[in-house]
Copies of this chain bind each other. A is one copy, B any other.
Amino acid sequence: MLPANGTAAETEIRTLIEARTKAVRAKAVDAAMSAIAPGIVAFDVVNPLQHLGQQGVRQRAEQWFSSLAGTIGYELRDLAITADEDIAFSHSLNHVNATTTTGKKIDMWWRATVCYRKIDGKWKIIHEHSSVPFDPGTGKASLDLRP
């Protein structure tokens, strides 16, 4: 069933996001990567400035998942989706709650913007931007902000 104000495309994007969220929680790399377009331009939370193409995004997911013990507590807040027939974008505040394999607690929010295009009838992520802001006074990334 479509949401009251939604379009079919919005519902498709919401379904994609939900599947991807579940894949991250389960640390399922292939499922988390399944909507990533080959030519993605990804701006990630940590260095470098950008990843061009799937390979860097996959390596980063593998590295991140393997640094955390057990499943990942992962939720999206304030998700907004804008979609036309063939292109779409979404933004949200993403929260991860997990423990590293060395026992360090991670409880962090970041900002996420995701851009989609329908390619051969399937929605693909062609651009993704994830980040935290920094404190200009200290030059430090702000890892403890809460919405």
Contacts and interface: CB of A to CB of B under 8 A. Distances in A.
Contact of A134 (B87, B93, B134, B147): B134
Interface in A101-130: 109, 111, 113, 115, 117, 126-127, 129
B140 A111 contact: no
Contact of A50 (B87, B115, B147): B147
A76 to B, nearest CB: 14
Given A85-B84, A115-B113, A140-B140, A133 B135 contact: no
B82 A47 contact: no
B45 A134 contact: yes
B82 A84 contact: no
Given A82-B87, A87-B82, A111 B46 contact: no
A88 B117 CA distance: 11
A134 B141 contact: yes
Given A87-B84, A111-B129, A129-B91, A135 B47 contact: yes
A115 B82 CA distance: 9
A93 B49 contact: yes
A131 B89 contact: no
Contacts of A129: 91, 111, 113, 129, 131
Given A45-B134, A80-B127, A139-B143, 5 more contacts: A41-B91, A43-B133, A47-B135, A47-B145, A82-B126
